Amino acid sequence: MKILVPVKRAIDYNVKVKVKADESNVDLANVKMSINPFCEIAVEEAVRLKEAGSATEIVVVSIGTVACVEQVRTALALGADRGIHINTDADLDSLQIAKLLKTVVDEETPDLVILGKQAIDSDNNQTGQMLAALSGMGQGTFASEVAVADGKIAVTREIDGGLQTVSLSLPAVVTTDLRLNEPRYASLPNIMKAKRKPVATIEADSLGVNLKSNVSLLKVTAPSQRNGGIKVADVAELVEKLKTEAKVIS
Characterise 81 by phi-psi region: left (phi > 0), alpha (psi -120 to 50), beta (else): alpha
- For the segment 17-21, the average pLDDT, to the nearest whole number, is 88
Give the pLDDT of residue 156: 95
Give the pLDDT of residue 230: 86
Residue 161 pLDDT class (50, 70, 90 cuts): confident
Region of poorest pLDDT, from 69-73, 112-116, 221-225: 221-225
Percent of the residues in the chain that have a pLDDT greater than 70, as a whole number: 100
In the predicted structure, residue 166 carries a pLDDT above the cut 90: yes
Contact present, 60 and 52 (Cβ < 8 Å): no
**pLDDT single digits (tens) 174-196:** 999 999 999 999 999 999 999 99
Give the pLDDT of residue 245: 85
Give the pLDDT of residue 159: 86
Give the pLDDT of residue 235: 94
Contact present, 72 and 7 (Cβ < 8 Å): yes
Contact present, 156 and 175 (Cβ < 8 Å): no
Closest listed residue to residue 88, CA positions, set 205, 7, 215: 205
**Which domains, from first to last, does the chain contain?**
2-246 (3.40.50.620)
Give the pLDDT of residue 250: 77
Give the pLDDT of residue 51: 95
**pLDDT single digits (tens) 196-239:** 999 999 999 999 999 888 888 899 988 888 778 889 999 999 99
- For the segment 93-119, the average pLDDT, to the nearest whole number, is 95
Measured between alpha carbons, how far is residue 202 from residues 13, 65, 134 in Å? 28, 11, 20
Give the pLDDT of residue 29: 86
Neighbours of 147 (CB within 10 A): 14
Q: What is the C-alpha to C-alpha distance for residues 155 and 232, in angstroms, rounded to an integer?
A: 47
Backbone torsions φ then ψ of 71, nearest 5 degrees = -70, -35
Q: What is the C-alpha to C-alpha distance for residues 144 and 154, in angstroms, rounded to an integer?
A: 11
Helices (H), 60-143: 69-78, 94-108, 127-135
